[in-house]
Amino acid sequence: MKNIFILVGLLFMIACASNEKKQETLANKPKNIIFMIGDGMGVAQIQAAMTVNNNQLNFERVTNVGFSKTSSSDNYITDSAAGATAFSAGKKTYNGAIGVDADTVAQKTILEYAEEAGLATGLVATSSITHATPASFIAHQPSREMAEEIALDFLKTDIDVFIGGGKDYFTKRNDSLDLTTDLEKNGYKVVFEQAEFANITSGKLAALLAPDGMPAFSKGRGDMLAPAAMKAIELLNKNDQGFFLMIEGSQIDWGGHENDIEYVVSELLDFDNTIGQVLDFAAKDGETLVIITADHETGGLTLVGDNIMNDTTAVHFSTTHHTAVMVPVYASGPGADAFSGTYENNTIFTKMMKALNLTP
Ligand code: MG
Ligand code: ZN
């Protein structure tokens, strides 16, 4: 009899210990990562949009903030390809490199590790899906210019959802292949209009919504990024093992290159609206780590007055190219603490891999 009490007590203790361990895991380890990149988004771009938007943004809901040092392996000033490859593969590489290291050797990306480990994966962008930032998560090519080769790489990984522009790189190719046929053979629903993906509620989705880049928010794209992001989350979240999703506000950078503050602000507000909806999902879900950062700043933007949209003396751009300044990293949810501090951009890869228990 006494032995039974001891046995029951022992089992109870073991049960409590494993329960504690489980709770600790839930508190520090996310099931999902949503990684959001505002291309060309420095603090001045965020400040400009905040000022225009009654001094508030969804960014302010995120309490963990750090800084990322953005230089590439061959340049003080990175481009988007080297910047995204640092995030996706953990390697500082040369400007123009897509998922390859400084010696052009292919480097497995976090999206590929996640896919292999049974997580669902997705990419959403407001540029061509073959453009440098999304491409660096799935493709391995020595140059960002190789859009048709990059499109072919989408067939080599079993990514679950991708939404952006770039239809022509899949359908109007020099090799006359129509990659959308192969995608359909591999089980994807392939759509070319935003209205079409609203009705898709399960399975794999390839949405190619423009021949090349998407139009600007204010020139016909309108509310596409948030619905695309939320559709991706809806589809990926059906996987019990979790998901990795990259969402890019691609055109904040393009506004910077054009030194067009209205372009920058409208793209940033569109990105911020998406951030709000993503944070709402993450708050309800409780197991999602959301990270929001940039690959680099674009335009050398300075604000010297608050009448940002109407007073041309309030806003200065110092270049039509990228700059070297550090960019902010916002993180929210389980594991967010790891993103405080100042660190090299490629350590974001390591932090995300650790958070998802993935080993390189
Ligand atoms: Mg980009
Ligand atoms: Zn750029």
Query: Both tokens of residue 40?
Result: 């060309």
CB 35 within 8 A of CB 87: yes
Q: Which ligand is nearest to the Cα of residue 213, counting in written order?
A: 1
* CATH, domain 30-355, list 3.40.1160.10, 1.10.8.100, 3.30.420.40, 3.40.720.10: 3.40.720.10
Token pair 């949405």: residue: 207
Q: Which ligand is nearest to the Cα of residue 133, counting in written order?
A: 1
What are the b/e assignments for 320-330, b being 16+ CB within 10 Å?
A: eebbebbbbbb
Q: Cα(308)–Cα(315) distance, rounded to whole angstroms? A: 6
Query: Both tokens of residue 281?
Result: 């999902």
Q: Cα(320)–Cα(336) distance, rounded to whole angstroms? A: 33
Instruction: Determine the pLDDT at residue 20.
Output: 46
Q: For residue 229, give the amino acid letter.
A: A
Q: Which ligand is nearest to the Cα of residue 78, counting in written order?
A: 2
- Give residue 141 CA to ligand 2 midpoint distance, Å: 19
Give, as residue ranges, everything with CB less than 5 Å from ion ligand 1: 39, 80, 133, 250
**Active site residue: 80, 88, 136, 250, which one?**
80
Instruction: Determine the pLDDT at residue 9.
Output: 54
- Give residue 11 CA to ligand 2 midpoint distance, Å: 59
Instruction: Determine the pLDDT at residue 54.
Output: 98
- Give residue 80 CA to ligand 1 midpoint distance, Å: 6
Q: Quick one: which H or E segment has residue 227?
A: helix 225-236
Structure confidence by residue, pLDDT tens digits, 279-295 = 999 999 999 999 999 99
Strands 243-249 and 120-128: parallel
CB atoms within 10 A of CB 80: 29
Give first-to-last CA distance, the chain, whole Å.
51
Instruction: Determine the pLDDT at residue 142.
Output: 98
Work out the angle at residue 98's Cα, subtended by the Cα atoms of residues 186 and 346, and round it to the nearest 5 degrees. Answer: 115
Q: Which residues contact 97 (CB under 8 A, 6 or more apart)?
A: 81, 82, 85, 104, 136, 142, 143, 144
CB 248 within 8 A of CB 289: no
Helix (H, G, I), strand (E, B) or coil at 263: helix
Boundaries of every domain in the chain: 30-355
Work out the angle at residue 276's Cα, subtended by the Cα atoms of residues 305 and 237, and round it to the nearest 5 degrees. Answer: 150
pTM of the entire predicted model: 0.93
- Give residue 96 CA to ligand 1 midpoint distance, Å: 12
Q: Which ligand is nearest to the Cα of residue 254, counting in written order?
A: 2
Side by side, which strands form the sheet with 243-249? 188-191, 204-208, 161-165, 120-128, 243-249, 32-38, 288-293, 327-332, 64-69, 341-344
- Give residue 25 CA to ligand 1 midpoint distance, Å: 34
- Give residue 298 CA to ligand 2 midpoint distance, Å: 6
Q: Is 340 a catalytic residue?
A: no
Residues of the chain with pLDDT under 70: 1-27
Structure confidence by residue, pLDDT tens digits, 102-159 = 999 999 999 999 999 999 999 999 999 999 999 999 999 999 999 999 999 999 999 9
- Give residue 251 CA to ligand 2 midpoint distance, Å: 9
